[in-house]
Amino acid sequence: MIISFEGIDGSGKSTQAELLLSRLEKQGIDVLYVREPGGTAVSERIRSILLDPEAEMDPFTEMLLFSAARSELVRTKVRSVHESGGIVVCDRFFDSTVAYQGGGRQLADPEWLNRFQRAVTDQIVPNRTYLIRVDIETSTRRLENRLGADAAADRMEQAGTEFFTRVVETYDRIAAAEPDRFRVMDGRKGIDEIAEAIWEDLESLLST
Q: What share of the chain is helix, strand, coil (3-state, %, to 5)?
A: 60, 10, 30
Query: With binding defined as CB under 6 A, does residue 38 bind ligand ADP?
Result: no
Instruction: Give the residue, chosen from 2, 6, 13, 21, that forms a contact with ligand ADP under the rule CB under 6 A.
Output: 13
Nearest distance in Å: CB 6, ligand TYD: 9
Nearest distance in Å: CB 130, ligand ADP: 11
Find out whether 15 and 139 touch, Cβ atoms under 8 Å. no
Query: With binding defined as CB under 6 A, does residue 141 bind ligand ADP?
Result: no
Three-state secondary structure call for residue 123: coil
Nearest distance in Å: CB 135, ligand ADP: 13
Query: With binding defined as CB under 6 A, does residue 114 bind ligand TYD?
Result: no
Q: Please enumerate in sequence order all residues whose Cβ is within 8 A of that of 108, keeping only pairs 6 or more positions apart, or say none.
A: 60, 63, 101, 102
Measure the CA–CA gap between 142 and 38, rounded to whole angstroms.
23
Q: Given the rule CB under 6 A, which residues bind ligand TYD?
A: 9, 14, 36-37, 51, 66, 92, 96-97, 100-101, 156-157
